[in-house]
Chains A and B, each alone.
Chain A
């Protein structure tokens, strides 16, 4: 027999799925800020934030919303080398595939872009841009200088990458949009909406305010950590539901289970 917690668990499988996108106050603000920046005559926009703050899903949503209005492209995974990256850029700009065993002439590509100015406005979104090397970033900047191609660069905010972002882009980036971890209110809404979207009303109601506070304390409002936490909680609940139903109550989520999930994920140590 399928446990009621199995569906709940699946809701929190970490993925960049636009169908699962939850509109939150903070993410809406970031989205509007990004959309407004795109409409400005900027060359590069930096989307900045710690891992799990919702950068990828925001870029996805922007792509989904604007793909019929603007010439917008989303590079979700960084190219493994420069050659592959410029193959992709070439395809975007010329809408042609480069013949095999050929390489892009970068100068020619820059000139091509310059010729496009005023005729086309191409937006390229680069996710996980911390993986591009400084040399490649310089070339991206040169392409953006043509004013025909606009780049939205999404970067993780870690100690080293923060330094890279500051040093490398400080003089070049014209707009910075920073994403933060969710507040308790936003995280509560996020969990609730996710469950309600799958019609899991009872389970949504079984998570009380004090549970949300505890979850927020452990995950610090990080969406990815939150997904992991909720997944683990429902997985433990699923086990009890199937094997030891006396140890679980359906009208509320025991603190014990949240703490067990936190122990499992290493948020707390014995």
Chain B
């Protein structure tokens, strides 16, 4: 009869030795999985660094370029359409808030109406202002006429804006500029001084300085 106890001990040592490659294999697999996860984490970080910030994403369903008056004009189809390509990145966000895959950038074409070229457009807006007294319309007209060097009309529409709301700085400034352009510098200075006295506006001070120096 063998010494079974000694044989059992030998067998236990054999089993332990036999398990070593299995244990090593297990750890290798675990480390491998860990490495894959680590890589995935880094990958996400990489994508985060290159993703387009949320606030900068232009969405096709937000009509940031079209105002009400212009929309109305667009409906009448008597305008010139300018095709403006805008790059839009579609970012998919999952419910957890993590960044998903970033799709290829697509170009969105929106139609912007060039109102500065058509006299009929101004007429339409003037008409609408008279009906609704919307300062956006009057200010738009003031700016547009000023750009087109029609200072008299610019002065008029700046005044109209000011009548509705005398706190719109832009209307004051356009009015003063238009006055100056028309050669009424003293009047422009008087107006600006009155406004500066009331509001202490830096913009107004800068403009006043320019007018005084004869730059405008």
Contacts and interface: CB of A to CB of B under 8 A. Distances in A.
Contact of B10 (A235, A239, A240, A263): A263
Interface of B: 1-2, 4, 7-8, 10-11, 13-15, 17
Contacts of B2: 235-236, 239, 264
A260 interface: yes
Given A268-B14, A270-B13, A270-B14, A263 B7 contact: yes
14 contacts: A236-B7, A239-B1, A239-B4, A240-B4, A259-B14, A259-B15, A260-B7, A260-B11, A263-B10, A264-B2, A270-B10, A270-B13, A270-B14, A270-B17
Contacts of B17: 270
A263 B1 contact: no
Given A263-B7, A263-B10, 10 more contacts: A235-B1, A235-B2, A243-B4, A256-B11, A259-B11, A259-B15, A260-B7, A263-B11, A264-B2, A270-B14
Contacts of A235: 1-2
B4 to A, nearest CB: 5
A270 B8 CA distance: 12
Contacts of B4: 236, 239-240, 243
Nearest to A257: B11
Across the A-B interface, the 5 shortest Cβ-Cβ residue pairs: A270-B13, A260-B11, A270-B14, A239-B4, A260-B7
B11 to A, nearest CB: 5
Contacts of B8: 260
Nearest to B17: A270
A96 B10 CA distance: 58
Contact of B14 (A236, A239, A240, A263): A263
A268 B7 CA distance: 12
